[in-house]
Amino acid sequence: MSTSHTTTLARLPEAGPPQLLFLLFHGVGGQAQNMVSLAQRLASEYPQAAVLCIDAPDAFDVAPGSGGRQWFSIQGIDEANRPARIAATLRRFVAQVRALQQHFDLDWPRTALVGFSQGAIMALEAVQSEPRLAGRVLAFSGRHATAPMHAPEDTTVHLFHGLADRVMPPGPAIDSAERLVALGGDVTCEALPGIGHELHPALVDKAMAQLRTFLPKRMWREALSEAPVIPRTASSQELGRPAPARDAE
């Protein structure tokens, strides 16, 4: 298969169409190949998924000719200009996700965006700006460009960070988790000691556990809406109250 910016297809199901879509986005200066080990882990856990590693669209301008790629330039970047740089490239990022969903005929609830560092930033900002883009985001060593003003609708956000990360310290990610919870979002946050700016196996293990065990609010809501409601009166024993005394016969 050939799609724009897609250089590494880690795995397609051996039989039948894919049931899930995992799209992996590397960090600044990296390449799609950097995400292959994580892609292989996802493919082994979810054999009926299509798992793709995506190359960023632009050459890494800090080191021309290195073969590295970038989602947006980090030359002279600061807190003030980062949001505008992300906004300038976000449309093509979202378009790439939509094109791959259409190619595999998979809708947004069955799509997960998985990003590391700058790739995580793009995934987080994409679901903030585009409603119903993905059912889940797995963001490793990433952050929001600006503090979220709303929680992405029906999207579960999983944040994974090393507490020893000096490239992108964990504080903003932890703040985002707290803010999304306050906004009614569906979010988890795993921050582990002794881990720097890396796709550490311990963080990957946490991600696999969250995928297996964390049930999104959307699925709870759908399950409850489909469950039959049978009204009845609860007994005193069920309510933990003593049964009323009966008159002696």
Among 165, 176, 186, 200, which one carries the catalytic annotation? 165
Which tokens go with 28?
């600044």
Taking alpha carbons only, the member of 41, 51, 9, 5 closest to residue 200 is 41
Whole-angstrom distance, CA of residue 237 vs CA of residue 231:
17
Q: Clarify whether 165 is annotated catalytic.
A: yes
Select which of 144, 158, 161, 197 is catalytic.
197
Provide the 3-class DSSP secondary structure of residue 191. strand
**Cβ atoms 104, 13 nearer than 8 A:** no
**Dist. CA 112–CA 41, nearest whole Å:** 14
Decide if 78 is catalytic.
no
Phi and psi for 22 in degrees, rounded to 5?
-110, 125
Catalytic residue among 55, 117, 141, 200: 117
Tell me the catalytic residues.
117, 165, 197
